Structure 1
Amino acid sequence: MSYVPANPPFDAAGFVNSQIRTVPDWPQPGVQFRDITPLLQHPKALRVLVDLFVQRYIEAKLDYIAGLDARGFIIGPIVAYELNLGFIPIRKAGKLPYRTVSESYDLEYGAATVEIHEDACGPGDRIVIIDDLIATGGTMMAGKKLLERLGAVVVEGAAIIDLPDLGGSGRLRATGLPLYTVTEFGGH
């Protein structure tokens, strides 16, 4: 009888990382834009990504997944569906039709404001915020502040990509927000 070696363990995070395209000098010179569209187009990569988030939160006793406008709207509802949870959109200013609360913040290329409906969640609701990446951390921090203003408990911030050289993940952790990211890229 001959020995048949086992398959090496599957590196899910490495596989997800391999599906992210870097676009140099976009949207401005010197920026290395991390493009998740190839990841979303690849059925196995999308499944692996969603499964990483689902496995992380399957026993977390959450009430909602909140997604940050706009790419957090792609992964967030899928994860919410898989976990049998509701989804809360955190939108750019002026996009929601009902009464809102808002929070302004700085981004890597300027400033912005996000909003949620004033009845999006309630006191004690346990929520994970999802986005595509963490750069300066401003968008996720603004989302956290909005949810907490409504009384929710933000259990964790989650993203596909961390850009640690921009300092956002460090700033978010310094405020006490636990973070989960699938992969990271150095540089800007």
Structure 2
Amino acid sequence: MSDLPKLVILDRDGVINQDSDAYIKSADEWIPIPGSLEAIARLNHAGIAVTVATNQSGIGRGMFSVEDLNEMHAKFQRALGRVGGHIDGIFFCPHAPDAGCDCRKPKPGLLRAISVRFGLPLARVPVIGDSKRDIDAAIAAHAVPMLVRTGKGTRTFEKHPELHTLPWFDDLAAAVDYILEGGKRA
């Protein structure tokens, strides 16, 4: 167990819940990917803190409000609680892409904020995402990038052959299996 990370950072849309090119704008649209909530609970039960780092530019674009986002996250936490899990922190960037902030992935600001909050260097921390910007943020923050094929993951994997050397998985449940098995494929 000592080789397990103390923290795992997850992207939200496309990793935990279904994604949409039209954005997830309400709690009704927030639908978990099968097995994702149980995977998070397994990390919790192994003593690993789990956080979310998510771009939510729909706020900056005026498509939904922070209150709407809070309702989505409340639904997420309730659903996760029903399977015995929890999230230790949700970090989000509300800015539109042209805002020039440091928190919007692919910049590492959100990941660095998580590192500070948890008092942990990110060198052994898996960051699981479905897009190149998730991977780029993980690399910039000196974390361990992992790619899932859910959400935009298959498209990302096909479009960026340079990512083929990274650990990649069919979904969050498979990535969690890998983490809990000490980085070994079953």
**TM-score with structure 1 setting the length:** 0.41
Q: Which has the higher contact order (CA 8 A, sep 6+)?
A: 2
Structure number with higher helix proportion = 2
Query: TM-score under structure 2 normalisation?
Result: 0.41
